[in-house]
Amino acid sequence: MSAKTVLGQTAEIAGPKKAFIIPKPEVAAAMIKRAKRPLLVVGAEAPKMETKDGDLIDTAIKVSRGGISVVATGHMVGEFRRRGSEVHSMPLMNLGDRLRDPEWMGLDGKGRYDLAVFVGFSYYLEWLVQNGLKSFAQDLTMISLSRSYQPNAGWSLGSMKAEEWKEVIDVIVESIREGN
Amino acid sequence: MSKKDLKLKIDELTSTLGVFRGLEIEVGRIHDGTWEEPMGPTPFPSVGTLRSWDRKLLERYKPFYMPFCDLCCLCTFGKCDLTGNKRGACGITMAGQQSRIVLIACCIGASTHTAHARHMLDHLLQEYGRDAPLEVALNTGVEAPNIRLVCGIRPKTLRDLEDALDYVETQLVQLVAATHTGQEGDNIDFESKAFHAGMLDHVAMEVADISQITTLSLPKGEAEAPMTELGYGSIDATKPVIMCIGHNVLPSVDIIDYLMENNLFGEVEIGGLCCTAHDMSRYDKRSKVIGPISWQLRFIRAGIPDLIVVDEQCLRTDVMIEARKLGVPVIATSEKSCLGLADRTHDDPDTIVGDMTTGAVDGVLILDPRKVGEVSVKTVIGVAKKREGKKRFNIEEISELANSCRACMECVHACPNNLPIVDAMQSAKEGDYTQLAALNDLCVGCARCESACPVELPIISMISKANEDANIHEVFPMRVGRGAIQDTEIREVGQPIVFGEIPGVVAIVGCANYPAGGDDVARMAEEFLKRRFIVLTSGCSAMNIAMTKDEDGLNLYEKYPGHFDAGGLVNVGSCVANSHITGAAIKIANIFAKRSLRGNYEEIADYIYNRVGAVGLAWGAMSQKAASIAAGCWRLGIPVVVGPHGAKYRRMLLGRSDKEEDWTVFNARDGEEVYVGPAPEHLFYAAETVEEALVMIAKLSMRPNDTNKGRAVKLSHYIDLHKTHYGSMPDDLHLYVRRPQDIPFTMKDEIVKILEEAGWVEDKISIPDPTLLDRMVRRRG
């Protein structure tokens, strides 16, 4: 699997603390499965990103059915609903603001998340929000499943071509489901 | 009265000359003794005067920082890594550093408008005299609401504006000093200072715009200001073409005057880009608006201009390089943007013209606007003759160029929006240019793709060339900037706005750094116009609003009137005309609610925050000026929504609707502290999508003071937009429905059920006479 740290946007250079590359998809799946309170955060680019399931919305629905909390940002919850799936909805800014709050009890009121997995965002927006959380929510683990390396996550996929990324996402999702 | 002037009042004086009673001696300016409004508590506020007000807002709307850079590189101790809990060598934290950068950005923005205003005012004082009376708008007594509010003065003549500007300049120096290493250390105090910079910015913008309105006879608040033409197609390229770029209209005014004085207007085309274009069209509607800032490079590359005149702000700093390639001379006209050119201000005009038409020089700096007028017109006529046949994109066949594309993806990674340039190039290799042409409307025109390209493809030119046929024929009508809102209009709409019956006032302003093209701006404007919001606009956004037509070929300026009333589309003008937007909110407090403006900032801001459902939308905000304009809105309690690129301003001001304790106000009737719900929920917010922004703006229009009817109207829009775009009812209705009467009638059953499920209790949310200021409580219970 790609270990390239080519940035999705050339000038979005990270600071001294950079994300580790996820060496293989099974590692990401294991981290998600091991987390006590994981949250999959799905951005507004999701319908434009093809996966083996169709697009990222379809894949996120599959993950959601596996019991992992999913939150749609932007107006994406409407897309989930149109496909018959109910997930949480919260604007990205509100979510970032709450994820840094140690007292926030989560979208379901059951407690703080220990892992946030981001996918489906424009590169710079994910970069920025993760950099806010990197400094101001230091006990939150962040994984980026972006197709381009996201340096401000704790762990990020390496940069890869669309076809390879589809495979990787599929392996991650199937590995998560196998454990359930 | 200026603080540096002296006023001495003596009840009785006995001297060898006799006894004098009621003696008043003034040195400097004449005190405005006819102004009956009492002086408020904060005339000419210093950096810390309004700190307690700012902190009230910042306690609700806590900064959420998204560092654009983890380092501080501002002193030689550094670079310092501030990630996490680390501190810099000076002790600064990440939060402190981010807020410091916000302040620096706001200082840059406010200084830019202030310098613009100073240049404008100094010139106009020289041209029109110090006693030139201010005539800002028809049917208007409150000529300068920002100046009255902040400075506590009522300017009557041009010279009175100097007092306001002197004050702004003094304060800006203080603010910049606060950013020095080892000064301010607290992030909230940095934020307060950023608010101060924003407030100053609106004073400076007001000075700039009302001085030019009053002397240059720009529209004086007429709702139906004239229509002008916008777009490439508005320019007759067969004539000599002068292209003016920037924000300061003075040189352009003298070009227009010279054309008129010499009966050359029909023979020479003059068009502008960015805010100069707005103000040129306000001066003479025959001057054309070529387009927003994002078109700068494309239009130059199109080869259409025969002469480029730049003034200040938002210029491409490589304009000389681009112009040289085409043999187009450049005239720089501002000390702030000399472009390396020789200063020819004191040279004979005909000598300068000769040097430019022969190509002996590729540009000059001329700081005298009158000389700019003469030299520009004579030069363009001479140069145009030599450029015949060159008015087109001077590039090879697109497919031949595309063949050298290596598909390395450098361009895509350099693009702010990661546009699929490589895919378009691959199609172009096969002779299919549709994908390239499709990028035209999405491209922000920054040309970072070209800088990144290892084979130096002229990507912007290729995109423009692929879309050339559409571009050159596009003409859109645009109502020119009308300037201020008339007092009589405020009287008409003050009540429905404050009671909430007009669902909101949306100000769509700012630059053209859009995530997916300018059409989104027009789409958002129309959504709110249909819903009978008042839509104000300015700058590049006002241009992009013009550039979308419906199936009948009409654009929004043709479909919606220009009045400041429900369903009105009000183009106020250029960047500096944004002061009229905050001015309108201030005037509502003054004219409708009879609140005194004079040096009375906190009370008026408190009024606007709790009562006036105004929201700013800067979908393509790019500049530091946009940051300071927004900061001026925040201090007045007006929320601002930006597009996703606006997150790069690196901090949001976000409320927490789930924390009830954050949303209490005093009831001014009895002093009781009551819960009013999260209205408005945020003060500065970046939306990821257009749809999210639409829903958020509708929500942010709610205010604690809304009447039941007004809240029902606002809720109906919020719910309708939410259902349309989110596919469901909002999940926070229990935070906004105060009483059953707030519920939109047609949705009653559905909403009541939702409220019951949420455990809603009637009257938990109060409808007080809301204020955040303890001193505004009239009587204690």
B64 touches A at CB < 8 Å? yes
Chain B residues in contact with A11 (beta carbon < 8 A): 414
Question: CA of A103: which chain B residue's CA is closest?
Answer: B659
Check B452 against A131: CB less than 8 A apart: no
Across the interface, of A9, A15, A131, the residue whose CB is closest to B413 is A9
CB of B537 closer than 8 Å to CB of B528:
no
DSSP B745: G
Measured between CB atoms, which of B70, B414, B647 is closest to A15? B70
Rg (CA), chain A: 15
pLDDT of residue B26: 62
How high does pLDDT run on average in chain A?
95
**Which among B65, B70, B415 has the least Cβ separation from residue A136?**
B65
Four-point Cα dihedral A11, B441, B316, B116, nearest 10:
-110
User: What is the DSSP pairing of strand A20-21 with strand A69-72?
Assistant: unpaired
Distance of CA A75 to the CA centre of its chain: 17
Per the CB < 8 Å rule, is B83 touching A17? yes
Contact assignment for A128 to B68 by CB distance below 8 Å: yes
Give the Cβ contact number of residue B720 at 10 Å.
Answer: 16
Q: From chain B, pick out residues whose CB is under 8 angstroms from the CB of A7.
A: 413
Which of A9, A17, A91 is facing B418, going by the closest CB pair?
A9
Query: pLDDT at position B8, please?
Result: 67
Indicate the pLDDT class of residue A119, thresholds 50, 70 and 90: very high
Six token digits for residue B33: 């003794």
The predicted pLDDT at position A2 comes to 74
Residues of chain A found within 8 Å of residue B413, distances taken between Cβ atoms: 6-10
Which pLDDT does position B1 carry in this prediction?
41
d(CA B417, CA B401): 23
Q: Distance (Å) from the C-alpha of residue B691 to the closest C-alpha of chain A?
A: 6
Q: B155 with B131: CB under 8 angstroms?
A: no
Predicted pLDDT at B547: 95
Measured between beta carbons, the chain A residues lying within 8 angstroms of B515 are 122
> What distance in Å separates the CA atoms of residue B177 and residue B164, rounded to the nearest whole number?
20
Option in B66, B648, B727 nearest A132 (CB): B66
Torsion from C-alpha of B175, B180, B185, B187, nearest 10 degrees: 50
Which of B58, B69, B662, B688 is best to mutate for the A interface (most A CBs within 10 A)?
Answer: B688
Contacts of B85 in chain A (CB under 8 A): 138
DSSP label at residue B396: -
Residue A74: which of B67, B85, B689 has the nearest Cβ? Answer: B689
Distance between A22 CA and the closest CA of chain B, angstroms:
22
Q: In the Cβ-directed half-sphere of A100, how many Cα atoms lie within 13 Å?
A: 22
Test A75 with B686 for CB contact under 8 angstroms: no
Size of interface A-B (CB pairs under 8 A): 132
Nearest residue of chain B to residue A89 (CA atoms):
B726
Distance CA B628, CA B647 (A): 15
Six-digit token string for B218: 């720009």
Give pLDDT, residue B27. 62
In SS3 terms, B74-128 reads as CCCCCCEECCCCCCCCCCCCHHHHHHHHHHHHHHHHHHHHHHHHHHHHHHHHHHH
**One-letter amino acid identity for B746?**
T
* Residues found in chain B: 781
Question: Does B695 sit within 8 Å of A9, measured CB to CB?
Answer: no
Residues of chain B scoring pLDDT < 70? 1-8, 24-31, 394-395
Best of A135, A138, A142, A147 to substitute, by most chain B Cβ atoms within 10 angstroms, is A135
Contacts of B727 in chain A (CB under 8 A): 77-78, 81-82
Per CB-CB distance under 8 Å, the chain A contacts of B408 are: none
Is the CB of B727 inside 8 Å of chain A's CB atoms?
yes
Q: Which residues contact B729 (CB under 8 A, 6 or more apart)?
A: B719, B722, B723, B750, B751, B754
Q: Is B451 on the interface with A (CB under 8 A)?
A: no
Which residue does chain A place closest to B415, by CA atoms? A9
Inter-chain CB proximity A89 and B70 less than 8 Å: no
Cβ separation B656–A97 shorter than 8 A: yes
Rounded CA separation B217/A40 (Å): 58
Can you give the pLDDT at residue B142? 97
Asked if A98 lies within 8 A of B64 by C-beta distance, the reply is no
User: Which residue out of A86, A122, A133 would a mutagenesis test of the B interface target, given it has the greatest number of B Cβ atoms within 10 Å?
Assistant: A122
Contact at CB, A122 and B515, closer than 8 angstroms: yes
> Strands B62-65, B6-15: parallel, antiparallel or unpaired by DSSP?
unpaired
CB contact (8 A) between residue A44 and residue B689: yes
B665, containing H or E segment: strand B664-667
CA–chain centroid gap for A103, Å, is: 22
Among B67, B452, B725, select the one facing A78 at the smallest CB separation.
B725
